[in-house]
Amino acid sequence: MKLYIKQKVFSWADRFAVRDETGAERYYVEGEIFSWGKKLHVYDAQGREAAFIQEKVWSFRPRFFVYVDGRQAAEIVKKFTFFCPRYYAEGPGWEIEGRFLSHEYEVFKNGSSIITIRKEWMTWGDSYEVSIADCEDEVLALSVVLAIDCAMDSDGGVTVTAGGS
């Protein structure tokens, strides 16, 4: 399954759609404007909250918590490195490898690739293609990708995460 994230530039609040291969809106993501730390709500097409992403405010390294169905499903932690950013998804035990600054990376579970993220260049705003091997991991996979993007943004403004609908 593939999901497409299209974030628009020049918006006051994070809000953007996540579409499937047919172009149908599967989810929409909405950020909180006035909050301590970054907070994103992921809603399904029926308007129900599918996931919630929250930044740990007082942390030495970027750290985000992912909640699915009201319970913590993952904690995204940036590993301490000198040259290239590296992330780990605690909870599901996913290893994340790739070129984060160019937004091309993969998520591995037990050595097998389960998610591939690729940034589409030459578009207005940030556009990403997220390939997910198992549909059961769809919400968690999408949330982990969004949390990594937030972590990169909070760790030096590497990405543009301003959204729009």
Q: Which two tokens stand for residue 122?
A: 């030459």
Question: Where do the H-state alpha helices sit in 12-87?
Answer: none
Q: Which two tokens stand for residue 85?
A: 């950013």
pLDDT at residue 90 is higher than 80: yes
Q: 118 phi and psi, to 5 degrees?
A: -140, 130
How do residues 59-89 score in pLDDT, each as one tens digit?
A: 556 689 999 988 999 998 876 666 666 777 8
Average pLDDT over the chain, rounded to whole? 79
pTM: 0.79
Band the pLDDT of 22: cuts 50, 70, 90. Answer: very high
Beta carbons within 8 Å of 69's beta carbon, 6+ residues apart: 50
Task: Give CA–CA dist 140/60, Å, rounded.
Answer: 25
- As a whole number, mean pLDDT of residues 133-159 equals 76
C-alpha torsion 161→43→59→137, nearest 10: -100
Q: Which two tokens stand for residue 66?
A: 């992912």
Count the Cβ atoms, other than its own, within 10 Å of residue 130.
Answer: 21
Task: Give CA–CA dist 100/96, Å, rounded.
Answer: 10
